[in-house]
Amino acid sequence: MAAIAHTAPASATTPRLLSLDIARGMTMAFMIMVNNNGAHAWAPFQHSVWNGWTPTDLVFPCFLFVVGVSIVLSFGKHMERGVSKGRMAISILRRTGILILLGLVVNGYPHFPWGTLRFYGVLQRIALCYCCAALFYLWRRDASSKIIAIAVLLAGYWALMRFVPVPGAGVPGKDIPFLDPTRNLAAWLDRRIFPGRLFEGVRDPEGFLSTLPAIATTLLGLLAGLWMRTERPRRQIALGLLAAGVVLIFLGQFWSLSFPLNKKLWTSSYVLFSGGTSALLLGGLYWMIDVKGWRKAWTQPWIVFGTNAIFAYMLSELLASTLWIMALHHHTEMLWTWIYRPIFAPIHPVGLGSLLYSIAFTIVCWLATYTLWRRKIFLKI
């Protein structure tokens, strides 16, 4: 991480939004859980094989949605302190570069095979979406431009995937099945850009073309942030988020009839649907915490993850890789197997054993993050 920052007083006019930290923390906790599932995870804790969705498929877009909200709130604080646009733009580009480098560390650890290193990744997608949304917001802060951009991105991506012929295969829906797993424009383009460096061999869930609708997901969060910064009563803000969530889910489901929900391609219908579920989560938390004032002990675990989210994610990924590559007993057994087999494998049903493992793994990451939180250390980029 680039810097270590201790807590600073919140702005008098832009107080820290506790519900946003909790939403970020919940998202990060679930992300760590589903990324470290054990051997026999139940279906809700796995990604959909192709079209369709599971709760796991809603985690990453929720994080990008929260990134969009955070842009509005953090930029508001910088503007109140008189930070120039130039300095803010430099900070955006610096953070983007650091996130991309951290993503390469996650992909390459511990051997860093430069000849086949995957360049795409979760942190890389977060970086690009953050950069585009933040620079756009720095240039224009109105809501209408964001709505237009979202519409252009989603409609444009649909048109590309639906009507542009896939070289060597044909027109989707005519010569080849629409959204064929390997014969689609996004997968074809990724194979040309980074051959031999894709997560699934012939395609990548964080590929180049699907980053366009992922930016739209971040812009939906940015719109939510603009709504939350208005002078409206808190009750009205919460109800607005909840209503927007319901509308987005309906629109996403309706569009999915012709453009299926697909996380690996980040389809336009998926953007609307997952944006709706994210708005419902944030709106519900805002209602409970900022309207009703339910700030009890249950919020604490999520705040720990929410205020050090990138550290928690990096720790989880590097720890998981270490468990898989570290060998014991004269290199005959992996450390992961040594832990999982005697403790979690005997548990029945086997899905419960996998779930308990993922919870235990998440708790270990939480304890490490909690140590930083207790000392009021927050790693910034």
Q: Concatenated DSSP letters for 41-85?
A: --GGGS--SSSS--GGGGHHHHHHHHHHHHHHHHHHHHHHTT--H
Per-residue pLDDT tens over the stretch 268-309: 999 999 999 999 999 999 999 989 888 777 888 999 999 999
- Write 293-298 long-range contacts (CB < 8 A, 24+): 295/18
pLDDT of 39 reads: 82
Same domain, 287 and 363: no
Q: Tell me whether residue 89 is in a domain.
A: no
Residue at which a domain ends, from 294, 328, 350: 294
pTM for this structure? 0.93
Length of the chain: 381
Q: What is d(CA 220, CA 7) in angstroms, rounded to the nearest whole number?
A: 29
Give residue 364's domain range.
Answer: 1-46+297-381
Confidence of residue 2 (pLDDT cuts 50, 70, 90): very low
Domain final residue pick, 236, 259, 294:
294
The answer to whether residues 287 and 329 belong to one domain is no
Report if residue 114 sits inside a domain. Answer: no
| 259 and 301, same domain (yes or no) | no
pLDDT in tens, 156-213: 999 999 999 999 999 999 999 999 999 999 999 999 999 999 999 999 999 999 999 9
Average pLDDT, the chain: 91
Q: Are residues 156 and 266 in the same domain?
A: yes
**How many independent structural domains does the chain possess?**
2
Mean pLDDT of 299-326: 93
In the block, residue with structure tokens 């917001």? 137
Nearest by Cα to 62 from 206, 270, 265:
270
Give the percent of the chain with pLDDT over 70.
Answer: 95
Q: Are residues 269 and 378 in the same domain?
A: no
Name the packing angle between helices 211-228 and 59-80 (round to 10°).
50
* Position with higher pLDDT, 234 vs 327: 234
Distance from C-alpha of 346 to C-alpha of 357, rounded to nearest angstrom: 12
- Whole-angstrom distance, CA of residue 277 vs CA of residue 275: 6
Is there a domain that residue 289 lies in?
A: yes
Same domain, 325 and 352: yes
Residue whose pair of structure tokens reads 């205020």 in the numeric block: 307
Residue 65, domain member (yes or no): yes
As a whole number, mean pLDDT of residues 5-23 equals 63
Handedness of CA 175, 176, 182, 185 (dihedral sign): positive
The pLDDT of residue 13 is above 50: no
- The answer to whether 252 and 276 have CB atoms below 8 angstroms apart is yes
Per-residue model confidence as pLDDT tens digits over 39-74: 889 999 999 999 999 999 999 999 999 999 999 998
Q: Is the pLDDT of residue 12 over 60?
A: no
Domain end marker among 242, 261, 294: 294
Q: Which pLDDT score is estimated for 297?
A: 78
pLDDT at residue 4, rounded to an integer: 38
| pLDDT value of residue 7 | 40
| Residue 175 lies inside a defined structural domain of this protein | yes
For 347, the 3-state DSSP assignment is coil
Q: 1 pLDDT band (50/70/90 cuts)? A: very low
Q: Worst-scoring range by mean pLDDT, 291-295, 339-343, 373-377? A: 291-295
Range of weakest confidence among 9-23, 61-75, 122-136: 9-23
- Residue 178 and residue 288 in one domain: yes
**What number is the average pLDDT over the span 98-102?**
96
Alpha carbon distance, N-terminus to C-terminus of the chain: 6
Does the residue 116 lie in any domain?
A: no
Specify whether 286 is located in the same domain as 305: no
Same domain? 289 vs 303 = no
- Tell me: do 161 and 245 sit in the same domain: yes
Q: What confidence score (pLDDT) does residue 15 get?
A: 59
Percent of residues, the chain, with pLDDT higher than 90: 80
Q: Is the separation of the CB atoms in 301 and 19 below 8 Å?
A: no
Q: pLDDT at residue 353 above 50?
A: yes
Residue 331 — pLDDT band, cuts 50, 70, 90?
low
Q: Which two tokens stand for residue 191?
A: 């194979």
Q: Is 263 helix (H, G, I), strand (E, B) or coil?
A: coil
- The answer to whether residue 32 is domain-embedded is yes
Lowest mean pLDDT among 69-78, 92-101, 361-370: 69-78
